[in-house]
Amino acid sequence: MLFQFDNFVIDTDRRQLRGAGGVIHVEPQVFDLLLYFAQTPNRVISKNELIEQIWEGRVISDATLNSRMNSARRAVGDTGKKQALIRTVQRRGFLFSGEVTTRASDPLFAAGSMANSMPGLPLALPDKPSIAALAFQNLSGDPEQEYFADGIVEDILTGLSRIKWLFVVARNSSFVYKGQAVDVKRVGRELGVRYVLEGSIRKTGERVRIAAQLLEAETGGHLWAERYDRRLEDIFELQDEITLSVVGAIEPSLRDAEIERVKRKRPENLDAYDLVLRATPWVYVAMREQASKAIPLLEKALALEADYAAAHGLLAWCQEILFVWGEFTENNRIRAIRHARAALHHARDDAMALSLAAFVIGLVEHDYQTAVQTFERALALSPSSAFTLFMGSIVQAYAGNADRAIEWAERALRISPFDRLAYLPHQALAISHFQLGRHEEAANAARRAAESNPDFAGSHILLAAALAKLGRAEAAKATAMNVLALQPSFSARGFCAAVGIAPALAEPLTDAWRQAGLP
């Protein structure tokens, strides 16, 4: 179905908003807002009704709703002042004043029958990781479900294409295998990719089951697989949920697979890219000993390629770990800032490098304005990047931007709920809930962060603070002892100064740490 208003079209089959200049990329919730407005024109819609329809009644902050509403207005050329299409009706809600017409969608262009005439000659692999997503097999026996299956893969490809370190074969190329018994080794050779994503869909009554798997084309080995079983109450919402889950799971799985591939190589043959991949797992745990192991690998990578933005960014993070979770040594602080600024200078369109730079520029250089702007730039490049949201949520939290930190952390955990970096958004939630006086929620989030990365003192200091504010003195003191066992040099004043915590947050945190018995 197409909903047309002003100079815009909402295509529900393709989940697209299109304007005069082509497709306008918006977040799923923003698309759902605009679609609901188009379905209910010239009617005042209350805040509660929007939350029930778009967020299924889940509790969300006013900042989250305002952020999505502002994004919807920007997408259709509206503003908070102009309000030509989306009007705010004081104390009542929102009114969409556009004149809407509807019509059936144009049929999807067929992929064609090119597969029978494909040359079969192997293509060279790109310099970076590469993937093709095949059309999902329709197991429901209902030909109409082909549109749904194809839309799932198209959305997955759109998400994958936002990952700048990944080479993604376009839909029109990978769909030529549709309807065939596919040999992934052949697909890898003919499309020149290292990875192949395939799957199936089955609809039975009011339920839909999706199975997806990621294969290494050269060997045919399985790297990742997932099954999704959902009710079919809203086919478009289901499509969004599956797409977000698959995209979020694929990104870390692909990264892990690349690291495993590097481990099979002989060290003397590693290039700068391989060195960075070898170093990355050491950095992710945010521990001083492991960061020290990563530094020589990253320095060697920079010796091979001096403008390697990701290497600069990871080195900046390593130095941040040594500075904040070490002895607050000035040399580590200076090196962290130098590499962060180098990463920012060389990053161009690398969202991961930009995120690393922003993380250190915020927490070590205390330039939170530049940090937030850089995170926004990274999200513009890769809106589905859980990594950017992980790092950004921490910076937003320590900057005192509690509502934004919660929004980013929740988005990150929905995209990639089982990521090894999940301790970061849980920490951001703990910090933000603490700032807002929700100490029980802060304690729960801090516990989840500690469970995700139990040897990292950063999670335990937040738990100690929350427990102290809840009046659980014995538990707070026990947690404080755990902090000092992990981080003997910790002091409240030193940590707040090192990270540059917003004063409105630093004072209650310091008071809580003092209650817990931390120096």
* Residue 232 · residue 210 · CB < 8 Å: no
Residue 345: half-sphere exposure toward Cβ, Cα within 13 Å: 10
Domains parsed from the chain with CATH numbers: 2-103 (1.10.10.10), 119-249 (3.40.50.10610), 305-516 (1.25.40.10)
Which 3 state secondary structure label does DSSP give 211? strand
| pTM for the predicted model, two decimal places | 0.57
Structure tokens at 334: 């200076």
Structure tokens at 233: 């109450």
Per-position pLDDT tens, the chain of length 519: 778 887 788 887 667 787 755 567 667 778 888 888 988 888 888 888 888 888 776 777 777 788 788 888 888 888 767 788 888 888 888 988 878 887 665 433 233 333 333 334 456 677 777 888 898 888 877 766 676 677 678 767 766 766 767 777 766 567 777 777 778 888 888 788 888 989 888 877 778 788 888 888 888 887 778 887 877 666 656 666 665 666 666 666 656 665 555 444 432 334 787 788 778 888 988 889 999 999 999 999 999 989 999 999 999 999 999 999 988 899 999 999 999 999 999 987 788 899 999 999 999 999 999 999 999 998 887 776 778 999 999 999 999 999 999 999 998 886 666 677 889 999 999 999 999 999 999 999 999 898 888 889 999 999 999 999 999 999 999 999 999 999 998 999 999 999 999 888 999 999 999 999 999
Element (H, E) at 361: helix 351-363
Element (H, E) at 101: strand 100-103
* Residue 93 · residue 49 · CB < 8 Å: yes
Residue 44 backbone phi and psi in degrees, to 5:
-70, 125
